[in-house]
Structure 1
Amino acid sequence: LNSFSVRHLGASPVRAEDMGEPTQAQATLPKENLTIASANGRHVFSVELAKTPRQQQVGEMFRTTLPADNGMLFLWATPQQSDMWMENTLVPLDIVFIGTDHRIQAIAENAVPRSLAHISSHGPVGATLELAGGVTAKLGITVGDKVEAPSLEKKS
């Protein structure tokens, strides 16, 4: 999955129209507000929702900016290990893996643009969130923090 070019490497259904490597940024996806409750307070982000396999494949690829208060939320149909990479992602990202209990299970900070290194949740998660690189450290967001969003509530 790409969010600023992060790709989900797990198996997912792909339709014929979804085939092919992305060559440009996708249009802005539908958005919702997502809140992370940390020891430092409540942090609100406007996140795009990557729901379809193609939206998840393209993610943040080829985008040249990601504001600190924006992000992309990848919603998995069923809990699964989330494996990402930064192919064609042009800006650093913090990749936040969200458990089915809506708590942060792991954070990969400042993922390197264009890297093909795998970034793994190391276990099943319900969603993956991509934020601008460095945001989690700056705001004091850590493993165990609670994530609230309408799309996550619908999955419960």
Structure 2
Amino acid sequence: MAVSRWGAALAACFVAGAAFAQASGGPREALVIATDGGLREFQVEIADDGQERSRGLMFRREMADDAGMLFDFGAEQPVGFWMENTYIPLDMLFIKADGTVASIAERTTPLSRRTVPSGSPVRYVLEINGGLSDELGISPGDKVSGPAFEARP
């Protein structure tokens, strides 16, 4: 009986740890967006390989207002995103290789399979909480900077 209780406790710890890791994401990097209203700072997870880009922010139930995920495609190209298995509304900032915000898809619909296109070739996509781009005055033409941009060719 004691072994099964310990086994159950160990399994519960494992599940809780996995849920925490999924909810908190991986290591974060600083990112700054220069807007007409000032600098907007974020701590972002980097998704720069196929597996990370495919998973994205799926299954997350919440995200801090200063958090986000930056998708790096390595070169400018047309991209499309969807919200399948994504439970929180997101703003998607489509960003050119030089860090200029090309376009923004605001308040995307959670769990939707509708493709959200970039509209033009971009290298990066930044996902932040839905409505934040409007609230913080982020708009096309704003400039994004940080180690994630400087360290990549």
Is this a same-fold pair by TM over 0.5? yes
1:11 aligned residue? none
Residue 43 of structure 2: SS of its match in structure 1?
Answer: strand
1:37 aligned residue? 34
1:109 pairs with one of 106, 109, 133: 106
Cα separation, 2, equivalents of 1:73 and 1:137? 18
1:53 aligned residue? 50
Say if 2:83 is the partner of 1:89.
Answer: no
2:69 aligned residue? 72
* Higher-RCO chain (CA-CA 8 Å, sequence separation at least 6): 1
Q: Unaligned regions of 5+ residues in structure 2, if any?
A: 1-18
RMSD: 1.4
Cα separation, 1, equivalents of 2:38 and 2:23? 32
Deviation, structure 1 residue 106: 0.4
Instruction: Output one character per residue of 1:59-92: Cα deviation in whole Å (capped at 9) or x when no partner.
Output: 1000000111100000112211110000000000
Residue 126 of structure 1: SS of its match in structure 2?
Answer: strand
CA contact (8 A) 1:26 1:59 kept: no
Aligned residues: 133
Deviation, structure 1 residue 51: 1.4
More helix by share: 2
Cα separation, 2, equivalents of 1:75 and 1:49? 7
Residue 118 of structure 2: SS of its match in structure 1?
Answer: strand
Q: Percent identity of the aligned residues?
A: 39
> For the structure 1 residues 57 and 26, does the alpha-carbon distance in structure 2 shift closer, same or farther, using more than 3 Å as the test?
farther
Deviation, structure 1 residue 27: 6.5
Residue 26 of structure 2: SS of its match in structure 1?
Answer: coil
TM-score (norm 2): 0.83
TM-score (norm 1): 0.81
1:13 aligned residue? none
Residue 126 of structure 2: SS of its match in structure 1?
Answer: strand
